[in-house]
Structure 1
């Protein structure tokens, strides 16, 4: 029975501690800051016998006691911490994205435990620039341009986007325009610390017809032209190479029908000068027979009808006369 009573008292004691802790703390306060801003944490408690501790993610980094400040974890904010005795506050300067987290102020005096204060800090990048990117496709069957637009912001990686005319949310927008029709679009990017917007006008013009369906034919034609140029260039290169090789082969072999035109003056026979044999211009002297035979048609006729000139005849025609 005593054991049961002791256990019940223990449970009630634990619950009472949690209850008192909850009653001594204010709910979390959401704080949004931009990169480069400062966060001031004021301990607005009675100053008499006041002892205060500032914490970041449950780690104490500064204390106030006996009317004086002292740093506990100076490496946390790398000399970006300022302390003010007038209002008993600490200030974190030059905030970065990594400073986002939970800050707490815990205070007490010799006679009282004050309610703790908690702040959840969100550090955001500033939106620096906003642009609208657009692309289109010509729908020939419907005779209109289909535009796809995308809003892009630099700085904060995840801002909120909104469009005007038409009114819609999100970074992307699709609209259809008839030929010569135009539309002026406004995109706004914002977060809790900054806001930027931009405007762009798009027009469905006749020169847009090369997009989409017509663009396929332009690309095909360009591809055919490139292939034709490559084939022609290859053919010219092969032809030139063939002619060059042919010229080199002829000069090396030395075989032409005019090879024996320029003979040297040493009375060398043609059959001896031609390495590969006789040519169609081979001279008669090269193959002249040792016996006396007629050398021409007329010489043969005269040779058969008239003997050689003797002492009794002065010419081949003397007897006839």
Structure 2
């Protein structure tokens, strides 16, 4: 697969961006996906001459209404961030936060009675701001390498991953594994991370070499070194103690012999 600007991932990202701004779908219940900090326009699809009054509710609570004029409910989480269009009664919410996700219900009364209600579900997502690849390469006893790559992102919920190895799709999990030999050339790897409102890419190059650090082998070497070193110290300590004891014993025997001679 080509890795150019119009790669599979780029097309996927463009499609996600377009879908995130679609306001209408099939049926009355609509879903809108937006980024934190964005603004969203909730369309009412009504004309003023056919309407007597209208209410916008969020999760069952009034947030804005219109009769002869627009009134915004004080103390709501949207205070200072709402704007109703008095021509078509759409409601714009500014500076979206994750807590703004939920159902917006539109109800109203026309000259011929109640109008049909409409529910709009808003989903606010944290955009991906950073992607980084964590690399773990271990040299095995047979002089091959195991490669573990982890795609770390700045936000975690609802992330889709796509890995490319030498411009070919390789996997779709957060982490991938594969083997390499020192004879193989450098391998180019790319991680594409996306959610419903954003996408980011990170890339790296991996290679297996004979001097690749193997954490398990390093700790084994340290362990063996400490064990052998400890054994040597123990042997030397015992040897010194034995020599010291023998020296004390010989000195005592000499003193005893001299004392006996003097008594005779």
TM-score, structure 2 as length reference: 0.69
Post-superposition Cα deviations, 1:237-295, rounded to whole Å, max 9, x if no partner, equal: xxxxxxxxxxxxxxxxxxxxxxxxxxxxxxxxxxxxxxxxxxxxxxxxxxxxxxxxxxx
1:138 matched residue in structure 2: 139
1:163 matched residue in structure 2: 163
Deviation at 1:138, TM superposition (A): 2.0
Runs of 5+ consecutive residues of structure 1 not aligned to the other structure: 1-25, 236-321
Q: Secondary structure at the match of 2:197?
A: coil
Counterparts of 1:86 and 1:173 in 2: how far apart (Å)? 54
Closer, same or farther in 2 for the Cα pair 1:125/1:222, shift >3 Å? farther
Deviation at 1:35, TM superposition (A): 0.3
| Alignment: residue pair count | 204
Higher relative contact order (CA 8 A, sep 6+): 2
Closer, same or farther in 2 for the Cα pair 1:38/1:222, shift >3 Å? farther
Q: Secondary structure at the match of 1:215?
A: helix
Post-superposition Cα deviations, 1:104-138, rounded to whole Å, max 9, x if no partner, equal: 11122131322222111111001011011111222
Closer, same or farther in 2 for the Cα pair 1:40/1:147, shift >3 Å? same
Counterparts of 1:140 and 1:151 in 2: how far apart (Å)? 27
Q: Does 1:90 align with 2:88?
A: no
Runs of 5+ consecutive residues of structure 2 not aligned to the other structure: 1-26, 238-264
Deviation at 1:155, TM superposition (A): 2.9
Q: Does 1:201 align with 2:205?
A: yes
Which structure is higher in strand share? 2
User: Following superposition of structure 1 onto structure 2, how do residues 1-321 of structure 1 map, counting pairs within 5 Å?
Assistant: 26-48=27-49, 49-66=51-68, 68-141=69-142, 143-165=143-165, 166-181=169-184, 182-208=186-212, 210-211=213-214, 214-221=217-224, 223-224=226-227
2:24 matched residue in structure 1: none
Closer, same or farther in 2 for the Cα pair 1:144/1:74, shift >3 Å? same
Deviation at 1:228, TM superposition (A): 8.6
Which portions of structure 1, spanning 4 or more consecutive aligned residues, are displaced by more than 6 angstroms?
none
Q: Secondary structure at the match of 2:48?
A: coil
Q: Secondary structure at the match of 2:76?
A: helix
TM-score, structure 1 as length reference: 0.58
CA contact (8 A) 1:127 1:194 kept: yes
Post-superposition Cα deviations, 1:145-191, rounded to whole Å, max 9, x if no partner, equal: 01111111003444111101252111010010011423111101000
Counterparts of 1:175 and 1:105 in 2: how far apart (Å)? 53
Counterparts of 1:94 and 1:157 in 2: how far apart (Å)? 21
Counterparts of 1:80 and 1:163 in 2: how far apart (Å)? 40
Counterparts of 2:229 and 2:112 in 1: how far apart (Å)? 92
Q: Secondary structure at the match of 2:211?
A: helix
Counterparts of 1:53 and 1:214 in 2: how far apart (Å)? 69
Counterparts of 2:227 and 2:155 in 1: how far apart (Å)? 45
CA contact (8 A) 1:124 1:156 kept: no
